[in-house]
Amino acid sequence: MEEIKRMPLLGDAFPKMKVVTTRGVLDLPDFFQGKWFVLFSHPGDFTPVCTTEFVAFQNKYDKFRELNCELIGLSVDQVFAHIKWEEWIKEKLGVEIEFPIIADTGKIAEIMGLIHPGQGTNTVRAVFIVDDKGKIRLILYYPQEIGRNIDEILRSIKTLQISDNNGVATPADWPNNELIGSRVIIPPARDIKTVKERQEKAQKGEFECYDWWFCHKELK
């Protein structure tokens, strides 16, 4: 496992590590080469909020796959506990968990910054969105008492991919922003020449602007 001196930050390469999971031993991030993936940690198996999250993730697994994105869970539990919990979810709730779950000894939690002393000794509810080049693009942390919003994680992946593919940004609550709806934001001009070009393009109707630093357009 690759040693790092601090927890990973946005823009960092996901640390190389060998992990024990319910689907065997995997090498991360290489196992997901060419795909996006979401690593999400949970405080513990056989707990109610975590159970609702795993059901929610599984029920929307197809939507993640539509975005070329895989899922992998994690907690400091032994692999047989993960397997038994999966069996319980299938038997009692009728949902079969199809994505792997990492059985961590605490080493991965330490590297990824998943233990927050003020929240106890269990892993917090962290989310790492990693792109198809193995780079960490988004990090979220939730306290133990709040379950995650899976739609927001999906929205984040979609908007990151839109940004990558189109060189744009997305506004608050996209695609339902109160100012510009589903339109996307053109990055602000950083020099006088670009400011003039923006003004000319706006006059031609190529996009709309509140001002030269706030221009937006339809996503094509």
Tokens of 177: 């922003």
pLDDT at 5: 60
Q: Give the pair of three-digit tokens for residue 61.
A: 């697994």
* Six token digits for residue 80: 């047989």
Structure tokens at 48: 């109610």
Length of the chain, in residues? 220
* 175 φ, ψ (degrees, to nearest 5): -95, 25
Residue 112's contacts (CB-CB under 8 Å, 6 or more residues apart) are 7, 8, 15, 39, 41, 126, 128
CA distance 82 to 22: 7
CA pair distance 188, 196, nearest whole angstrom: 12
Are 42 and 73 a contacting pair, CB within 8 Å? yes
Distance CA 121, CA 111 (A): 15
Domains of the chain (ranges; CATH) run 17-149 (3.40.30.10), 167-220 (3.30.1020.10)
The pTM score is 0.91
Which of 16, 2, 39, 4 shows the shortest CA–CA distance to 114?
39
Catalytic residue among 50, 69, 209, 215: 50
Amino acid residing at 219: L
Query: What letter would DSSP give residue 6?
Result: S
50 is annotated as an active-site residue:
yes
DSSP secondary structure of 60-77: THHHHHHTTEEEEEEESS
29 preceded by a cis bond (ω within 30 of 0):
yes
User: Do 4 and 15 form a contact (C-beta atoms < 8 A)?
Assistant: yes
What does each of the 220 residues of the chain score in pLDDT, given as a tens digit?
444 466 889 999 999 999 999 999 999 999 999 999 999 998 889 999 999 999 999 999 999 999 999 999 998 889 999 999 999 999 999 999 999 999 988 888 888 888 776 666 667 789 999 999 999 999 999 988 899 999 999 999 999 999 999 999 999 999 999 999 999 999 888 899 888 888 888 888 888 999 889 999 999 8
pLDDT at 121: 60
- Long-range interactions of 83-87: CB distance < 8 A, separation 24+: 83/22, 84/45, 85/45, 85/46, 85/51, 86/22
| Extended beta strands in 124-177, E state | 125-130, 136-142
